[in-house]
Copies of this chain bind each other. A is one copy, B any other.
Amino acid sequence: MRLKPAVASAGEATGQEMSKSNNVYKDAFNRCLRLLDESRSLPSEPELGTLLGVSRTTVRSILTRMEETGLIDWNKRNKTVLRAPKAEDFFPEEETDSLAEIIERSFMRRLLAGGAEAGMQINELELAREIGVGTTSVREFLIRFSRFGLIEKRRNSHWVLKGFTRAFALELTEIREMFELRSAAAFAALPQDSAVWADLDRLEAEHRKLASEIATRFNEFSELDERFHRLIHRASHNRFIVDFYDVIAMIFHYHYQWNKAEERQRNEVAIQEHLAYIAALKSRDPAKVDAACRKHLKSARQTLLTSIPEGRQAQPA
């Protein structure tokens, strides 16, 4: 007799005090559904686990539910697909987000929605209540978030908002330019047989494809942008440089979501700059690399700066 795993039924019953949401399971379930119509039979449990990036425990919960809802027939190693997944089979998207993601989104919305002036206090308890989560999760989020340089902790007391100001953008881009120029130089100096050149070729092809279909796919650029810059930063072989790209990626992610003005044109320009940058890297000429990198970073900085209102300035501490 196979017992129904606890994880599959969480949150379905009435008002128990929930300590942890099963979003990992729900997200993996949805992703597993998309795998279903491709192949008519499912691989082994450990294989599925690697594929979905979850443990076997979660895989078994997924299979249990798939069997219950008539999606598959499951008997030990035999997992035959019975029908294609329907829209109702999926869990709602909003239930697949982790708490950290929910808190981050909520926090960034407040931050960018205005009214978030520099110097303002951040109250853990209030934030937790407004978002509807426990204080521990909010605390952990704020600690993690603090490395982005937008908030600061007063010992034994509240957090202080430093504000998404022009000064912040300038400080951020200053470091970015230092790091990327160095990484690009290191990239160009990599031996010809390094695997990165193949990665670069692949990215170049993706850029050309996107450029040719820019009219309909311009919003796919930011994801490509991140992959391209991360590839370059990795050439530095320096964890602090690589990790710093998290800060840049976070800022640009929310910045792009917030400021859609002239998005298509901006991305079109950026793609061309990337292609020139890629060509310079392939030439392996340090001077050309430096010039192409500088040019692109300058326009990236300009894009970020124009989206920040002039008026807002950080208060002197």
Contact = CB atoms under 8 A, between A and B. Distances in A.
Contacts of A174: 238
A24 interface: yes
**Total copies of the chain:** 2
Given A136-B136, A156-B24, A243-B149, A175 B143 contact: no
A239 B143 contact: no
Given A136-B136, A143-B144, A149 B24 contact: no
Nearest to A170: B238
Contact of A140 (B143, B147, B156, B247): B143
A171 interface: yes
A270 to B, nearest CB: 24
Interface residues of A, number: 28
Contact of A175 (B54, B139, B144, B240): B240
A175 B24 contact: no
Given A24-B156, A243-B149, A171 B238 contact: yes
A238 B175 contact: yes
Given A140-B139, A156-B24, A172-B240, A147 B149 contact: no
B171 A178 contact: no
A144 B142 CA distance: 10
B171 A182 contact: no
A62 interface: no
Interface of A: 24, 53-54, 136, 139-140, 143-144, 147, 149, 155-156, 162, 168, 171-172, 174-175, 178, 182, 237-241, 243-244, 247
Contacts of A139: 140
A182 B54 CA distance: 45
Given A54-B156, A147-B147, A178-B178, 10 more contacts: A136-B136, A140-B143, A143-B143, A143-B144, A149-B240, A171-B240, A174-B238, A175-B240, A175-B241, A240-B244
A230 B267 CA distance: 40
A121 B17 CA distance: 31
Contacts of A247: 240
15 contacts: A24-B156, A54-B156, A136-B136, A140-B140, A143-B143, A149-B243, A162-B239, A168-B239, A171-B237, A171-B238, A171-B239, A171-B240, A178-B178, A178-B182, A240-B247
Contacts of A54: 156
A132 to B, nearest CB: 20
Given A24-B156, A156-B24, A178-B178, A239 B149 contact: yes
Contacts of A238: 171, 174-175
A244 to B, nearest CB: 8
Contacts of A178: 178, 182
A182 B144 CA distance: 27
8 shortest interchain CB distances as A-B pairs: A171-B238, A149-B239, A175-B240, A143-B143, A147-B147, A143-B144, A171-B239, A174-B238
Nearest to A247: B240
